[in-house]
Amino acid sequence: MSDLTALLRSKGLRSTPHRRAVLHALAENPHVTAVEVAAAVGEQASGPGAVSELSRQGLYNVLEDLRRVGLVRSIEPAGSATLFELQHGDNHHHAVCRSCGAVQDVPCSVGSAPCLDAPGTGGFVADEAEVVWWGRCAACAAAGR
Ligand SMILES: [Zn+2]
Ligand SMILES: [Zn+2]
């Protein structure tokens, strides 16, 4: 039994080749669009341990199933397609480059996610805070883009 199979079963999901392929694709390529996930799954389909072609709707169903049980996280930077990544449960944030669109993980401030203590929300109990920094990535800044 593979790790991915164990992971899926621990969340009460059946371990299907497509679900394993999508998890595998996201493990190798964080912050990708559904289209890019489809391409990565397609590449696995041609390699050893081939997975049959996944329809667009089938892919969205797989992503939604994985998101619902907390294995996959989606982020939606303004002006970008929804991006998917594995859910690490670390409450990390993202920095998005306005020039090339590169997305970089930013660890949450040290400690117990102090950004969850949203000031002035009158008793609102937050369990997740999403921060996006917009700017230019190091490569774009260095190139003057
Ligand atoms: Zn950039
Ligand atoms: Zn991330």
Q: What are the structure tokens assigned to 76, written together?
A: 């939606």
pLDDT above 70 for 31: yes
Give 44 or 27, the one with higher predicted confidence: 27
Fold of 3-83: Arc Repressor Mutant, subunit A (1.10.10)
Q: 17 CA to middle of ligand 2, Å?
A: 24
- Which ligand is closest to the CA of 87, given by its number? 2
Q: Confidence band (pLDDT; 50, 70, 90) for 36? A: very high
pLDDT above 80 for 129: no
| pTM for this entry | 0.78
- Tell me whether strands 72-75 and 83-86 are parallel, antiparallel or unpaired: antiparallel
- Which ligand is closest to the CA of 130, given by its number? 2
By three-state DSSP, how is residue 61 classified? helix
Cα gap 84→74, rounded to integer Å: 5
The highest-confidence range among 42-51, 105-114, 122-131, by mean pLDDT, is 122-131
Q: For the chain, which residues make up each domain, given as ranges?
A: 3-83, 91-143
Cα gap 65→21, rounded to integer Å: 14
CATH 3.40.50.2000 fits 91-143, yes or no: no
Average pLDDT, the chain: 85
